[in-house]
Structure 1
Amino acid sequence: MSLRVSQLFCLILLIEAIVVYFAAPKIYNYNFNVFCSVQYAISVGIYLFLKKKKNYFDFDCVFFTGYFFVTLFYPVFMYENDPTRFFAFQYDFDANIIPQASALALVGINAYIFGSFLHKPKSSEARKYGLKDFIPNNHLSFITAVTFLLYILTGGYAALGGAYSGDEVQKSAISSYVFIFTPAFLLSTIIIEFYNLRTKNMFKFQFKNLNKITLFISLMFVFLMLATGSRTVPMQVILLCGGLLTLFFKPISFVRFVFLAFLGMGVMFLVVLARGYQQQGNFSLVDIAMDLIINNRNSYAAIEYVRTNGITWGMSMSASFLSPVPFLQNIVITLFGIDPFTMSSSIVITKMTLGEVGELGLGTNIIADIYMSFGFPGVVLLMTGLGYFISMTLDKAKTNIYALVCYGIMMSYAVFLVRAEFFFFLRFLVWGIIIVYISKLYRVKFVLRKKIE
C-alpha cells in the first residue's frame, strides 16, 4: 500500500475518532468505553499492518502498550468491578467524565498514528551505508561513575532506599542536582556504544566489540538502583539497550514482543514486592500494572480542571519545557512572579485533589498534560507531532548519530512518557545531543592532533 493511501486511511481513522469524541455521552456509559477500547485495538492493528514492521521492540509498540493501561484499562476492566482498588481512585472524581476521557485517548492515539505516516521514509538504498565514525565514550563512562559516586556520598542513594523502605533518611540538596546528570551521561554513553558497535560491524552484534568499561558501569548502576527499589532509570537503561539492540542487530517478532512485555512487567512488579509492597485484599493480576493504571484518574481530573478553570495555555507544562536549561525555571519564576505549583500538570492535579502539595503525588499522563494546557486541539496537534518525530528519528537512526540520540532517548522514555508530562523527555534529549556533539568534537581534535604529530 502506497504512503499516500496509508496517510488517507489514517486520516479517516483520526476523523472517525474526532467524531466519536464529540458524540461521547455526557453520563457514564460502560459500553461506550468498551467501544473506544475496541476501536483503539483496531487502530493499532491497522497501524502495525500498514507499517509492515520487522522489529516490534520499538518505541511504537512499547508506547501503545503503556498508553492503553494509562488511558483505557481502568474504565473497561476495573471501574465496574473494583473501582477503588488503587489509592488514587479513592479520591472522588466525576464518573460522567470517563466517556469523554476514553474518547480523548482514542483521538490522541489516532493523531499519533496519522503523524507517523506524515513522514516520508528514506529509500533502502540510502539506509545501507549506515554509520561510519567511531566516537570515544570512556570519558562519559567515567563521568557517569563519578556523578553516581557523588550521589552516594552526599546521601542521595541512602535517602532513595529509605523512601521505598519507609525509613526516613536525610539527604543534602546537592545530591538531587548531582543525580540529574548521572542518567544523562549514562544514556548518552550507551547510545554511543551502540553507534560504535554498528560502526565496527553493521550486521552482527559481537560481544568482543563491546566496551567493557561501559558494560560494567551500566550493570552496576542498574543493579544498585534496583537494590533501592527504584525502577525508573533502570527501566530506561533496559528499554534503551533492548531498543537499540533490536533496531541494529536482532529484530523481535510480535509474538516475542508480547512475551517480553509481560515478562518485563512481571519483573518490575517483583521489584515492587521486594520493597515491601502491600495491597488491601487478595492479589490480582491488575496489581502488576498498578503504576500505569492509577494514571487513568489523571485524565478525568484534567478534564474536570479545564471545565472549571479553562486551559492553562502551556503554563501547566512549562516546568518540563524549561528543564533542559539549569536553573531556568527558578529564573522565570522570579522574573515573572509565577506560582511554581502552576507549572506542572502533576502538581496542579495533586493540589486540586488533595488541597496541598506534600510527599504524596498523584502524577499526570501525557493526554491529561496536553489537554490541561491546550485542550482538544492541543491533543490532536501535539500527538500528531510526536508521531511524526518518532517516525522521522527511527527512520534516520541508522544513518545519523543525532537522530539516533533522539530516538534512543525517546525509546528510554517509551513507558514513562505515557504517565508523565508531554515534554518529560526534553531535558535528557537536549543534554544527550550536546554530550554527543562535544564527544564528536573531542574525537575530531584528537584525530587532527594525531595527524599533526
Structure 2
Amino acid sequence: MEAIILLLTIVLYFLAPNNYDFFYCCVLLILFVFSAYRAIKISMVEQNYVNFTFFFTISFFFVNFFYPVFIFPFDKYYFLVFSRFKFNEDVITKATSLALVGYTSFVFGIKSIFSQKRAKKIERPYINEKVIINNSFKIYLIFSWAFTGIVFLIAKDGILARSSDAFFNIEPSLLVINQCFINLLIIFTFYLRKSFFNLSIVFIYIFVFIFVGDRGPAVQTSLVLLISYSIFYKKISRLKLFLSVLIGFVGLTIISSIRGREGSTNNISSVQYNNYYDFAMDLIVNNRNLYAGYDYVEKYGLNYGSSSLPYIFAPIPKLPSLITTTFFDSTPQELSTGTILTNDVNATWGLGTNLIIDIYMQFDIIGVIALMFGLGYIVTKLELNVTNKLFSTICYIFIFSFSVYMTRSSLFDSVRYISWAAVIYFGIISLYKPFLISKNQLK
C-alpha cells in the first residue's frame, strides 16, 4: 500500500499546476492525513505513542501543509514573515506536492523494515553495559555538573542580561558536547532507575535556556526526558501525551514571542495572540522556506550537497570550516540553505530552512525520495532495537530529540550529537571495562 501511495504522490507532483490551486492542496492534505494515520499506526510499538514518527508527523504537518490550506486562502499575510519577505505564490502547490512525496517516502521506509523485523524482535538486558554505567554513574554525574557549570560561567554575562545571544560566543563544539552530557545523564538516570534528584542539573539547564529565550536546547532536553521516561520507566497515556504536546506548542510560541531579533528579550505581557494557530507559529512560518527554496532552485539550480558537508564533518571541531573554505571558499554557515534563503531576500534575521527543501536544493526530487526513505528506515530499525542494544537506544533517543526541529532544519543536524554521544559512551565503556574485569578476577 505504501509503495502505491508513494507512486501516486510522485505522479501528483509532476501533474501539479504551476499556480496556487486550493482544491489540489486539499487533495494533498487528505493524502497526507491518510499516510500519517498509517505511519503512526504502524510505528506504535506496544501501543506507545511516544515515538519519532508521531512527533515528526505533527511537526511536518504544520511546517508544510497548514499554511496553503488554512491560512493562505483567507489571510496570506497573517504572519509577518509572509508579508515582509515576499515569495513566488505560484509554486505553493508544486512545493506542497514535493513535501508530500518526501513524507510518503518516509512512511515507505518505515513500512519496508517494520513488518519484516517485528517478529524477530528479541528482548534482552544490556548486562555488561549496565554494570559499567552503574559503576561510573557518580563520576559521570559530577563531570556533567562541572562541564555545564563551566559553560554557564562562560556565558554568565549574557544569562544575567537575559540575552538570547548569551551562548552565541561559545565554541559550538562545547555546546554540542554539553548537550550530549545532559542527554546521556537523563538516559542513564532512567535506564538505571536512579533517583530523579540526579536530574537537578538537567532542570537547571532547561530553565537557563528558557530564561534567555533560547528554545532549541530546552526543547531537545525536554524531548529526551519524555522519551527516556516512556522507554525505561512508564508508558505515557494518551491524555498526558496530549497535554505534553499542547504545553510544548504554547511554550514554544511564548519563548519565540519574547525573544528579540537583536538578542534582546521582550516582556511577556506585551505578547498577544489572535488565533488558535498562533500557537503553532514557530512551525507554520517555515512554510515560506519551502516555497522560497523551491523557487530558488528554479532560478539558480542545485548546490549538489555542499550544504550538507558542514553537518557531516561537524563532529570534528574546526574541520567543517577547513573543508568548506578549501573547496568552496565559504564558511559552513554561508553554505547552509538557511543562510542562502535569508540572504536571497536580505533579511536582517535568520529565516531558517525546511527539511524537504534543504534536501531538494541539493539533490532534487530523487534526493528527497531516497533520503526520506532512508530516514524512515533508519529510525524504525533503531526503534526496533531499543530493548536489544543500549547504544541503539541512545541513537534513537538522540534522533527523537530532533523529531520536532528536524522538519524545519537539516536531515543531518543530529549527526554531530550522535557522534559525540558515541565518543562519551564508548569512552566510559573502554575506561571502566578493564577495571571491572580485573576486579572480578581478584574475587
**2:390 maps to which residue?**
401
TM-fit CA distance, 1:16: 0.9
Contact 1:148 1:179 in 2 (8 A): no
1:24-173 alignment to 2 at 5 Å? 24-51=16-43, 53=45, 54-89=47-82, 90-120=84-114, 122=117, 126-132=121-127, 133-134=129-130, 135=133, 136-155=136-155, 158=158, 162-164=162-164, 173=169
TM-fit CA distance, 1:307: 0.7
Structure 1 residue 430 and structure 2 residue 430: aligned? no
Aligned partners of 2:355 and 2:327: how far apart in 1?
A: 26
1:361-380 alignment to 2 at 5 Å? 361-380=350-369
The one-letter code of the counterpart of 2:92 is: I
Q: Tell me the C-alpha RMSD between the 2 structures.
A: 2.5
Gaps spanning 5+ residues in structure 2: where?
259-264
Change over 3 Å in CA distance of 1:255–1:20 after alignment to 2: farther
Structure 1 residue 210 and structure 2 residue 195: aligned? yes
**TM-score, scaled relative to structure 2:** 0.89
TM-fit CA distance, 1:128: 2.7
Contact 2:39 2:110 in 1 (8 A): no
Contact 1:265 1:289 in 2 (8 A): yes
Structure 1 residue 410 and structure 2 residue 399: aligned? yes
Gaps spanning 5+ residues in structure 1: where?
1-8, 198-208
**2:228 maps to which residue?**
244
The one-letter code of the counterpart of 1:154 is: I
Aligned partners of 1:394 and 1:317: how far apart in 2?
A: 25
Contact 1:131 1:401 in 2 (8 A): yes
Structure 1 residue 291 and structure 2 residue 282: aligned? yes
Contact 1:144 1:185 in 2 (8 A): yes
Alignment coverage as a number of residue pairs? 426
Aligned partners of 1:100 and 1:160: how far apart in 2?
A: 47
Change over 3 Å in CA distance of 1:125–1:377 after alignment to 2: closer
Deviations 1:374-401 (A, max 9, x none): 0110100000000001100000011101
Change over 3 Å in CA distance of 1:88–1:172 after alignment to 2: closer
Structure 1 residue 221 and structure 2 residue 205: aligned? yes
Change over 3 Å in CA distance of 1:74–1:279 after alignment to 2: farther
Structure 1 residue 389 and structure 2 residue 378: aligned? yes
**Correspondent of 2:320 among 329, 336, 349:** 329
TM-fit CA distance, 1:97: 0.4
Deviates more, 1:252-261 or 1:183-192: 252-261
Contact 2:313 2:319 in 1 (8 A): yes
Change over 3 Å in CA distance of 1:148–1:161 after alignment to 2: farther
Contact 1:192 1:436 in 2 (8 A): no
Deviates more, 1:186-195 or 1:100-109: 186-195
Contact 1:74 1:296 in 2 (8 A): yes
Structure 1 residue 179 and structure 2 residue 193: aligned? no
Identical amino acids, percent of aligned pairs? 26
Change over 3 Å in CA distance of 1:111–1:176 after alignment to 2: closer
Change over 3 Å in CA distance of 1:311–1:286 after alignment to 2: same
Aligned partners of 1:27 and 1:290: how far apart in 2?
A: 25
Change over 3 Å in CA distance of 1:79–1:113 after alignment to 2: same
The one-letter code of the counterpart of 2:153 is: L
Change over 3 Å in CA distance of 1:28–1:252 after alignment to 2: same
Aligned partners of 1:172 and 1:376: how far apart in 2?
A: 35
TM-fit CA distance, 1:224: 2.1
**Correspondent of 1:190 among 186, 191, 195:** 186
Contact 1:147 1:179 in 2 (8 A): no
Aligned partners of 1:237 and 1:351: how far apart in 2?
A: 31
Change over 3 Å in CA distance of 1:278–1:320 after alignment to 2: farther
Aligned partners of 1:380 and 1:330: how far apart in 2?
A: 29
